[in-house]
């Protein structure tokens, strides 16, 4: 049984729209509130001993939402990237983006590259933002990358291992999450980090993302410490395995 908080956490930030609708507000109001919550949770990570945080911001399936809502989300992404850049840099946050970038507007891609570059040397917290991300899409792209390396002669088939495959993923240089949290009461993983979270613990909580506070976050991290993690093994009892 572990007695420590997880240092690598991923969150499926779900329920912004429902949070707003329940209050008689437009769905975009929930997304705006959700952006404020991101700021709070990122700021709380150092005190909570979290060193890597991955946030599911926009999935490959989210393009199916109404055009007006997608456009509003893209505006919020632009605002976040522009307004938070200085604070993230000054607070020692290293920002990385995972997902397929080519479908995003060119100005958003440019802001993503700029933020990654200006925070590359920070080491207080690594913040991974999953933008236009889908786990199956990521696995396909990693497979294509490896296939191209084999085809060009840069890699032998025998060199395809779990480690080399993991290195070809968007998260290649980052360790796997220990805990994945999903807000809003849904019990699905929604195509989020299927390879990386194979042995992660999960927490599904009823609060929608705009109601997810640093206090709730801390409680979940503490609760993680009570879980027994065997990674497929059996704990020895009485000297017998």
Which of these, 204, 195, 162, 203, lies nearest to 176 by C-alpha position? 195
Q: What angle do CA 47, 212, 87 make, to 5 degrees?
A: 50
- For 108-136, b/e burial (b = at least 16 CB within 10 A) is beebbeebeeebeebeebbbbbbbbbbbe
Per DSSP, 15 falls in state -
User: Is 209 annotated as a binding-site member?
Assistant: no
User: Is 153 annotated as a binding-site member?
Assistant: no
| 132 in active site | no
User: Is 49 annotated as a binding-site member?
Assistant: no
User: Is 59 annotated as a binding-site member?
Assistant: yes
Exactly one of 62, 91, 122, 191 is catalytic; which is it?
62
| 62 in active site | yes
User: Is 188 annotated as a binding-site member?
Assistant: yes
User: Is 172 annotated as a binding-site member?
Assistant: no
User: Is 23 annotated as a binding-site member?
Assistant: no
User: Is 184 annotated as a binding-site member?
Assistant: no
Per DSSP, 194 falls in state T
User: Is 65 annotated as a binding-site member?
Assistant: yes
- Round to whole Å and give the CA distance between 184 and 19: 9
Exactly one of 8, 14, 132, 170 is catalytic; which is it?
14
User: Is 182 annotated as a binding-site member?
Assistant: yes
User: Is 61 annotated as a binding-site member?
Assistant: yes
Q: What angle do CA 195, 200, 206 make, to 5 degrees?
A: 110
Which of these, 168, 179, 154, lies nearest to 53 by C-alpha position? 179
User: What are the C-alpha distances in Å from 28 to residues 63, 86, 173?
Assistant: 15, 25, 34
The annotated binding site is made up of 14-19, 27, 31, 59-61, 63, 65, 182, 188-190, 201
The annotated binding site for Mg(2+) is made up of 14, 201
Active site residues: 14, 62
């Amino acid at each position: 049984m572990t007695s420590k908080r997880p240092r690598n956490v991923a969150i499926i930030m779900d329920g912004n729209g429902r949070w707003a609708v329940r209050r008689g507000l437009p769905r975009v109001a929930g997304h705006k509130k959700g952006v404020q919550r991101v700021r709070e949770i990122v700021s709380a990570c150092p005190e909570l001993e979290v060193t890597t945080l991955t946030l599911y911001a926009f999935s490959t399936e989210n393009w199916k939402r109404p055009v007006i809502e997608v456009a509003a989300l893209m505006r919020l992404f632009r605002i976040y990237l522009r307004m938070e850049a200085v604070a993230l840099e000054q607070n020692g946050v290293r920002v990385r983006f995972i997902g397929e970038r080519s479908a995003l507007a060119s100005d958003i891609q440019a802001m993503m590259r700029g933020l990654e570059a200006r925070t590359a040397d920070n080491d207080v917290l690594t913040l991974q933002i999953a933008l236009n991300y889908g786990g199956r899409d990521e696995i396909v792209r990693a497979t294509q990358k490896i296939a191209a390396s084999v085809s060009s002669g840069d890699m032998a088939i025998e060199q395809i291992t779990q480690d080399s495959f993991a290195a070809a993923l968007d998260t290649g240089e980052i360790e796997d999450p220990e805990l994945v949290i999903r807000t809003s009461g849904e019990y699905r993983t929604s195509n989020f980090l299927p390879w990386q979270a194979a042995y992660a613990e999960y927490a599904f909580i009823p609060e929608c993302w705009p109601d997810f506070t640093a206090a709730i976050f801390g409680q979940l991290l503490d609760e993680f410490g009570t879980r027994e993690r065997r990674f497929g093994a059996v704990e020895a009892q009485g000297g017998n395995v």
